[in-house]
Amino acid sequence: MAEFLSLLAQSRILPPTDPGTILDIVLRWIHFLAGITWIGLLYFFNLVNVPAMKQFDAATKGKYVPVVVNSALWWFRWGAVVTVLAGFIYWALLLAKEPPETIGRPGSLMGGVMGWWVLTVGVAWFINYFLLKKVPAVTKNGYIVALIVTALALGILWVVVYKVMTYEGASNRTIAIGVGGGYGLFMLLNVWGIIWPNNKRVITWTKENAEKGTPIPAEAAALGRQAFFASRSNAWLSLPMLFFMAAASHFPIFVGG
């Protein structure tokens, strides 16, 4: 015990004092914490909640859905917002440092990269939204949805790597975060554009059915299926998203540094 205390007394804990480094770690910590909340609930919905719901009768759903599912969706959707926002700010700070000053740093570089990045993901997601919401044949077959999302994910990867992040001095870190963050933004749009709006209506109808005996509209089945495929797509997209986030610091896949 005495040796341990002696060693502890001799140890040095010297945290960085510059504001930039402190801001970086705060943003990353918030990003990790919110991301664990968001993705953890995403896996809960896909691995636990969906199979369980198939075993509940109408009365049980009337008690379970408005309380448990509604509460989980609150943490789910706001966890997504905080995750993406913190990650976006962190990525922007990294972009502001590239390319190195010895190369030159045009004032429009960061805004240009971020603008094209948002546009790329936004267009990809709108295609996904249109097909899921406006083309009923798509949601009749999960394999079709999988092919569509895979094609869109590969499209985002190609555009970000070969069209957006092509400036001299781009690092593996910013490129990898650009790809992984692109998938994260796509998933966020799925949460707020499909999963939450659809589930909000279904929750309301389920609650009214339990309290007043009001029949659940036939539309609920279609909305639930759309939300299911958006959520399942997010679950699969989380795998490459997490890979590229880890690759930013631990796997120089793009430019070897």
DSSP state of 18: S
Q: What is the pLDDT of residues 119-172, one digit of tens each?
A: 999 999 999 999 999 999 999 999 999 999 999 999 999 999 999 988 888 899
For residue 152 the two structure tokens come to 């869109």
Q: What is the pLDDT of residues 159-169, one digit of tens each?
A: 999 999 888 88
What does the alpha-carbon distance between residue 62 and residue 77 come to, in Å, rounded to a whole number?
Answer: 22
Residue with the two structure tokens 């389920």: 206
pLDDT confidence band for 214 (50 / 70 / 90): confident
Does the pLDDT of residue 99 top 70, yes or no? no
Which positions ≥6 away from 128 have C-beta within 8 Å? 148, 149, 152, 186, 190, 233
Mean pLDDT confidence for 62-76: 95
Q: Which stretch of 11-15, 27-31, 43-47, 62-66 has the lowest confidence by average pLDDT?
A: 11-15
Q: Which stretch of 15-19, 30-34, 138-142, 168-172 has the lowest confidence by average pLDDT?
A: 15-19
- For residue 186, give the nearest of 227, 242, 143, 230 by alpha carbon: 230
In the chain, count H helices and then E strands. Answer: 10, 0
What does the alpha-carbon distance between residue 235 and residue 239 come to, in Å, rounded to a whole number?
Answer: 7
What does the alpha-carbon distance between residue 127 and residue 117 come to, in Å, rounded to a whole number?
Answer: 16
Q: Backbone dihedral region of 213: left (phi > 0), alpha (psi from -120 to 50 degrees) or beta?
A: left
**pLDDT for res 101:** 47
